């Protein structure tokens, strides 16, 4: 609320009008900025992180996140070195700050309209709302559609968001689903743009599986434009095999829902997302939407149990973080890349390898997917050895 007040005061001081939407999932802001014809939507959020990591997301008038270049320009305006040059010139008449009453209800009605044909009567669902932005909207839309809902993580106090709950802490939801005899469970992150599932046996259903279910369902229903879907480099190879078998084209992007959305808009496609649980259906909102993603999953299942999902078979995966002196040196590490090429050729058509430098830590991430866990481990070992030989600290 302090950040909200500061932002609103700044907008008004510069002559703009600030509408306060209150607690609202990130996709709700992306949806409503278009509906009300606003110039910008600003979301105060720590996403899936603790509240201490609160930051700011900006969405343009079309409901999409502002570009990297626009973000850099905004950051330069708040840099102390440029504060004087970025100050508002003159003394504009102050704008107004007012409450946007019913914003949550508007978003809820949009969800209800999108899933108006979905009947969840007889379904027992557990929802973990991460003590975050979905704590009102998600349980309400599930109930309106007929589900029996068991909620957890629905008592936010501004500090307990994502704390031991939500999509990054699935154990409590797994226990609730298995012990309570629920048909399925869904966990959202703090700002509501991600979702992961849990089936009645306690198995975790990640974004890859949720997107695969949705893609095959939408294609069969004739609602997957140009029969294409966009995912990231972290998506399991089993997803690609499943899409190939279903006749669905796949675009692969760098990690980040921003890149997935860009690929969708560029190609005129409508569905994409990430293993972490971002699911984007551009026909509804150009943003990851956890609540809509959960409902889309149930729509795709068409009355089947989540444990009966059969859209894809995940390949065994081995992920190793290798500490290095300088991650940027990976680009010129010839021994590493020759090893990557050799292992990739050996796995062609059966699996894959991915070696990339972390963007935030002195690490190189090595990922291998193969049909057999032992082969997965062996390939990862050879790649890690090559990385350590070339880039180990000291």
Q: Could you report the per-residue pLDDT of 7-29, keeping only the tens digit for each?
A: 999 999 999 999 999 999 999 99
Residue 283, pLDDT above cutoff 80: yes
**CB 207 within 8 Å of CB 277:** yes
- Range 304-320 average pLDDT: 93
CA–CA distance, 307 with 10 (Å, rounded to integer) = 50
Distance CA 212, CA 274 (A): 11
Q: How far apart are CA 332 and CA 65, in angstroms?
A: 33
Dihedral class, residue 130 (left if φ above 0, else alpha if ψ from -120 to 50, else beta): left
Is the fold of 1-102 the same as that of 317-391?
no
* 314 has pLDDT over 60: yes
Whether the CB-CB separation of 282 and 261 falls below 8 Å is answered with yes
C-alpha–C-alpha distance, residues 233 and 208, integer Å: 11
CA-closest candidate to residue 56, choices 71, 38, 73, 77: 71
**Distance in angstroms (rounded) separating the CA atoms of residues 80 and 68:** 20
Domain boundaries, the chain: 1-102, 317-391
Bridge partner residues of 97 (DSSP): 18
Alpha helix positions (H), 16-170 = 26-35, 68-78, 83-86, 103-114, 137-144
Residue range 359-386, pLDDT digits in tens? 778 999 999 999 999 999 999 999 999 9
Find residue 280's DSSP bridge partners. 272
Please state the pTM of the whole predicted model: 0.91
Average pLDDT, the chain: 94
- pLDDT for the residue 80: 61
Q: Which CATH superfamily is domain 1-102 in?
A: Alpha-D-Glucose-1,6-Bisphosphate, subunit A, domain 3 (3.40.120.10)
CB 111 within 8 A of CB 141: yes
Strand order in the sheet with 352-357: 317-323, 363-369, 352-357
Whose tokens are 């320009």? That residue is 73
Whole-angstrom CA distances from 203 to 87, 176, 196 are: 53, 12, 11
Q: Is 47 a catalytic residue?
A: yes
3-class state of residue 29 by DSSP:
helix
Q: What is the DSSP letter of 361?
A: S
Please tell me which of 166-175, 305-314, 350-359 the model is most confident about, judged by mean pLDDT: 166-175
10 Å CB burial of residue 55 (0-12, 13-18, 19+) is: exposed
Chain segment 195-239, per-residue pLDDT in tens: 999 999 999 999 999 999 999 999 999 999 999 999 999 999 999
Please tell me which residue in 45, 47, 167, 276 is annotated as part of the active site.
Answer: 47
Say which CATH class 317-391 falls into: alpha beta
- Which secondary-structure segment (H or E) carries 327? none
């Amino acid at each position: 609320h302090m950040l909200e007040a500061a932002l609103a005061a700044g907008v008004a001081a510069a002559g703009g009008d600030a509408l306060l939407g209150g607690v609202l999932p990130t996709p709700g802001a992306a949806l409503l900025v278009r509906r009300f014809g606003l110039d910008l939507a600003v979301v105060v959020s720590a996403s899936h992180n603790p509240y201490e990591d609160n930051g700011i997301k900006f969405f343009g008038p079309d409901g999409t996140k502002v570009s990297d270049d626009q973000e850099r320009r905004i950051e330069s305006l708040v840099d102390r070195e440029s504060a004087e040059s970025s100050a508002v010139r003159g003394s504009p008449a102050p704008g107004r700050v007012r409450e946007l009453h019913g914003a949550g209800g508007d978003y809820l009605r949009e969800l209800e309209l999108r899933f108006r044909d979905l009947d969840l009567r007889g379904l027992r669902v557990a929802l973990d709302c991460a003590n975050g932005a979905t704590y009102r909207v998600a349980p309400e839309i599930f109930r309106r559609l007929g589900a029996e809902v068991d909620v957890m993580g629905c008592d936010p106090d501004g500090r307990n968001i994502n704390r031991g709950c939500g999509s990054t802490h699935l154990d409590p939801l797994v226990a609730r689903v298995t012990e309570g005899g629920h048909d399925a469970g869904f966990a959202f992150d703090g700002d509501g743009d991600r979702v992961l599932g849990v089936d009645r046996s306690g198995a975790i259903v990640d974004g890859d599986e949720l997107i695969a279910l949705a893609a095959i369902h939408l294609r069969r229903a004739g609602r997957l434009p140009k029969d294409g879907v966009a995912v990231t480099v972290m998506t399991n190879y089993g997803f690609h095999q499943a899409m190939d078998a279903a006749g669905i084209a796949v675009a692969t992007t760098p990690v980040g829902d921003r890149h997935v959305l860009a690929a969708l808009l560029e190609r005129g496609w409508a569905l994409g997302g990430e293993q972490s649980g971002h699911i984007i259906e551009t026909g509804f909102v150009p943003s990851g939407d956890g609540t809509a993603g959960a409902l889309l999953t149930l729509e795709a299942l068409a009355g089947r149990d989540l444990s009966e999902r059969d859209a894809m078979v995940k390949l065994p995966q081995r992920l190793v973080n290798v500490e290095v002196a300088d991650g940027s040196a990976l680009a010129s590490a010839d021994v590493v890349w020759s090893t990557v090429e050799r292992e990739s050729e050996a796995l062609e058509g059966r699996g894959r390898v991915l070696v990339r430098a972390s963007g935030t830590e002195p690490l190189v991430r090595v990922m291998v997917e193969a049909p057999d866990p032992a082969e997965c481990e062996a390939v990862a070992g050879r790649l890690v050895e090559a990385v350590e030989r070339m880039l180990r600290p000291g």
